[in-house]
Amino acid sequence: MLDDALNRAKRYRELAKGCRRLAAIGFSAETQSHFLRMAEHYGTLAEAKEAAHTGANRAKAEWAKEKEKWADCQKQPKEQKLTGRKSWSFLASCMTS
C-alpha cells in the first residue's frame, strides 16, 4: 500500500511534467494556462501522496513503540505478582508514563 502511494506520486509528477511540456509548445494562452493549472494540480496530488506515505511510516513506527511498551508494561505486574485492580492500575500508570 505504501509503495502504491509512492508509485502514484511518481506518476503524478510525470503527468505534471508532461503538462508543462505541452504548455511550452506554444498553444494559445488559454490552452497554456489550462495545461499549467493541470501541472500544478498533479504536483499537488504528488505532494499529498508523498505526505500520506511519510505519515503512514511515522504512524507505523509509533505503533511499534507502543506495542513494545505495552508488552513491557504487561510483564512487570506479572513479575511483581500484581492481580486485579492493582495490575490494571499499574498498567495504566506504566502506559501513561
Quickly count: other Cβ atoms within 10 Å of residue 39's Cβ: 20
pTM of model > 0.75: no
Distance between alpha carbon 50 and the CA centroid of its chain, in Å? 7
Per-residue pLDDT tens digits for 22-77: 999 978 999 999 999 999 999 999 999 988 888 777 887 888 888 888 888 888 88
| Containing structural domain, residue 69 | 2-96
Integer Cα distance of 56 and 60 in angstroms:
6
Domains identified in the chain, total number: 1
